[in-house]
Copies of this chain bind each other. A is one copy, B any other.
Amino acid sequence: MILLDAKDSLPLYRQLYDRLRARILTGQLPAHARLPSVREMVHDLGVSRNTVQGAYQELYAEGYIYSAPRSGYFVSSLDQDAAQRSLKPASHAPELQPEPAAGCRFDLHPARLDPGSFPGEIWRKCFIDSLRKHRDALVAYGDPQGELPLRRELQRYLERSRGVVCEVGQIVILAGLQQGLDLVAHLLRDSHRVVAVEDPGYFMPRAVFGNHGFQVLPVPVGPAGLDLEQLAAGAGSIAYVTPSHQLPLGCVMPVASRLKLIEWAESGGRFIIEDDYDSELRYHGKPIASLQGLRPDGNIIYSGTFSKVLSPALRISYLVLPRVLLAAYRRQFRDHFCTVSLLEQQTLARFMELGHWERHLRRMRTCYKRKHDRLLRAVEDHFGPRARVTGQGAGLHVVVQLVGAAPGEAELLRRAAREGLRLYPASDFYLAHKPQGTTLLLGFGAPSLEEIDAAVALLSRICA
């Protein structure tokens, strides 16, 4: 006996479908059993013809029943064991939720931007412009390499401000460094097995190349950046470097080393990945020019991002591929789609075209220079000779080494967390090597000037 409930929010045909489906899956209605005709069912249940036909059509479309000409509908033959297991509800494991952000008074994370800094009003206008102009483009896929207006703006900006020499055909728009490195790994995996990374250095290249089965070779970083003798002595044939502002130590690779690195790459069909992640943020003098610009025809893959100055949550980055890789890129990726929203690409292109990007850049440089200077002063005031600062003058963090007896990193992180002070462990950046003594990375992007003072005072107390 099938009971339908007219008060249920589920339509009657759907209720009937559910009841019949359950009987078929449990075997109550066995294989090849004939279903009542539509007319019989209408009569038995007192429902409309549409209700019964709707249910039968669904069951038929999904293969629960089959039809025989002029004899009606019959139950399909299903594997009964498999069928019955399909009726069991899924187990309900405890919900897997992302960890909630811990309560935190001062956030000295090195990759946090100034809280009020996103140019929301201007971005809104550029977005509305680009939605109006490109609405009709949204019904198809965009350019796989990234929208041309954005690549044009980028090409001009990179040439003028970063000394990068390239054509728009070399630029690929991507959703972050991880995707850029993934693309590079795909392009180079057949001919390269070992990638040299900076130690200390950013974890991302290790993670991505490791995932691709590359051997990842840590090479120590000295005051002039990556140790080129150790690089040359190792088996690496790809080198990931941050020459304009080493992450995390903050040093700049001098031009003599840059030229040597370029020669290393060219002499053996090797490749350099230049990650120029935040070199726009330099607080004295102009930004250090790119390595790519020293040898635009060299084996240099240049990577840049909008994450450090505009927003890390927009997920817009780019690669400049050397010409030598373009054919392989097109062969492997011509059928792939761009991973960045066309609307956001066009919004950013408009933002750049109207000069907002360079204005925003200048504004952020001023904002962060004040925070940077305040942080240095606060460390001087509160720590005095107990701390030595390096890597200053650029980016969103400085490196502070504690001098003399100081708690170790783990103990310090525990104490800081207890006081609501968020620190980022420097040791996370180290692979084969270890930081000397207790080393802290102090980010100054997120806190206000007053908070910087208070946070450093607090830090000084818990370091004692």
- Which residues of A come within 8 Å of B, CB atoms? 14, 54, 57-58, 61-64, 76-79, 82-83, 85-86, 89-93, 95-98, 109, 111-118, 120, 123-124, 127-128, 131-132, 135-143, 145, 148, 165-170, 175-176, 178-179, 182, 186, 203-204, 207, 211, 224, 252-260, 262-263, 284-286, 288-289, 294-297, 311-316, 323, 326, 332, 335-344, 445-446
Contacts and interface: CB of A to CB of B under 8 A. Distances in A.
A156 to B, nearest CB: 14
Contact of A63 (B64, B135, B257): B257
Nearest first, the 9 A-B pairs at minimum CB distance are: A63-B254, A96-B169, A90-B296, A175-B339, A313-B342, A113-B139, A82-B259, A138-B311, A118-B138
A120 B98 contact: no
Q: Is the interface of A mostly helix, strand, loop or mixed?
A: loop
Given A86-B295, A95-B167, A315-B341, 20 more contacts: A58-B285, A63-B255, A79-B256, A82-B262, A89-B165, A90-B165, A95-B169, A124-B128, A137-B313, A138-B312, A175-B340, A176-B339, A186-B211, A203-B335, A204-B335, A315-B339, A315-B342, A340-B341, A343-B344, A344-B344
B145 A79 contact: no
Contacts of A165: 89-90
23 contacts: A61-B288, A62-B255, A62-B289, A63-B252, A76-B254, A76-B255, A79-B259, A86-B262, A86-B294, A89-B296, A97-B148, A97-B168, A124-B127, A138-B313, A138-B314, A139-B311, A141-B313, A179-B339, A203-B335, A314-B341, A314-B342, A314-B343, A315-B337
Contacts of A312: 138-141, 337
